[in-house]
Structure 1
């Protein structure tokens, strides 16, 4: 499974943006795999268009994950004051392009991603 391979790759990378990016994509793949399984589909191309984005919160709500977990998928504040907050679903772009985030916000986002992966592992029995 793609989510498992990316999760393992994120563990192999020693922190930083690369590990965070892989963690995000791993969670995204896991949530999409769970939705595909629940809907009896074969691939992401069969998902309705609203679930083909990077919106982890929408995927989590559709999968009926705990409201407390969904509620913790908050925007992350930027380190630079002239930059606005980064929505949770856009964190992959921030990490990919080197957008610096406030450390405590980033750590909270990473904790949520780890929780999503734990849920995916249980749901997909992987």
Structure 2
């Protein structure tokens, strides 16, 4: 049994209280979002840390692993910082398109429709 598999009475009690809080939140208007925000805030205290860089590893696999263990706040902060750096470095157009497509695929259809509506409105001749 690994150290991560040990269930202490304190862990069991926390699990029980957390499950009760989730159940109560789900019954409330906006409760799911509120509990999600609270959990994200709590996860900030046990973050995945900075992405690792190993010269002899597969960077895409390492990045995928880091993204799996990173908190939502870490994802936002590191991705935003990387996006802001792109204009200051040589960056292939195809790489920009891959990034845009990766972001696009994660958007709900309503957000995509809103984005397209705004772009089309701004592109219309006066």
Q: TM-score, normalised by structure 2?
A: 0.29
Query: Could you say which structure has the higher helix fraction?
Result: 2
Task: Return the index of the structure with the highest Cα Rg.
Answer: 2
Q: Which has the higher contact order (CA 8 A, sep 6+)?
A: 1
